[in-house]
Amino acid sequence: MSLEDNRRQYDYGKLTRDSLSTNPFEQFSLWMQQAIDGNVLDPTAMSLATVSAEGKPWQRMVLLKDFDEQGFVFYTNLGSRKVQDIKGNAQVSLHFPWLLLDRQVIVGGRAEQLPVSKVEQYFLSRPKESQLAAWASKQSSPISSRQALETQFSQVKAQFAEGEIPLPEFWGGFRVVPEEIEFWQGGENRLHDRFCFKRDKSEWNITRLSP
């Protein structure tokens, strides 16, 4: 297999300084809506990169569940590898790969754990099967087989057959408070448009970067 000639032209559009919002969250909101309207598969999917206390990086896909000028929110099992990494090093990176639109957004910042009240509010809004799955899975821990996982799910389903499913103590959420956000628009002849927002106290400084 040769991958050297596997390439294409990026010609979806351009990103100019004049068309760029001075507020990165407004720009992100615009691009997110365009990704949804453009039928991008899983537009809220983002790669979360963490680095352990020992300096080992790791990535995984999670789903964005909320965002505002405070940051970007996701939920997860508190026993997972990602959370153990965050406990040792709260600096993380998010990456939104909207390849259908020749776009990427990269966020760098600090992950802060959400209060239980906000986590519970979201957890109770999830489909029942998703709530049960949260109870059934000890995320990132070894498991003997798929059948063992399905057995755990069945046991939890029977346990909570009636009434509301409570929030597990081992399930929570995080907000990534951004320190920098980069918007990347693919360009013809690899002359991509890249703009980086960097936070300076309450202001955002904008810089165009070479492709």
- Please report, as a single letter, which amino acid is at residue 193: D
Q: Smallest Cα–Cα separation from 210: which of 197, 192, 186, 188?
A: 192
- Please report, as a single letter, which amino acid is at residue 123: F
Q: Smallest Cα–Cα separation from 90: which of 58, 47, 50?
A: 50
How far apart (Å, rounded) are the C-alpha atoms in residues 151 and 81?
23
Q: Which pair of tokens denotes residue 164?
A: 């509301």
Task: Identify whether the C-beta of residue 14 lies closer than 8 Å to the C-beta of residue 193.
Answer: yes
Q: Active site residue: 190, 194, 199, 208, which one?
A: 190
Task: Map residue 182 onto helix, strand or coil.
Answer: strand
Q: Which pair of tokens denotes residue 131?
A: 């709530």
Sign of the C-alpha dihedral computed for residues 208, 62, 115 and 88 taken in this order: negative
- Tell me whether residue 7 is one of the annotated catalytic residues: no
- Please report, as a single letter, which amino acid is at residue 134: A
Q: Smallest Cα–Cα separation from 175: which of 69, 96, 34, 28?
A: 69
Catalytic positions, written as ranges: 190
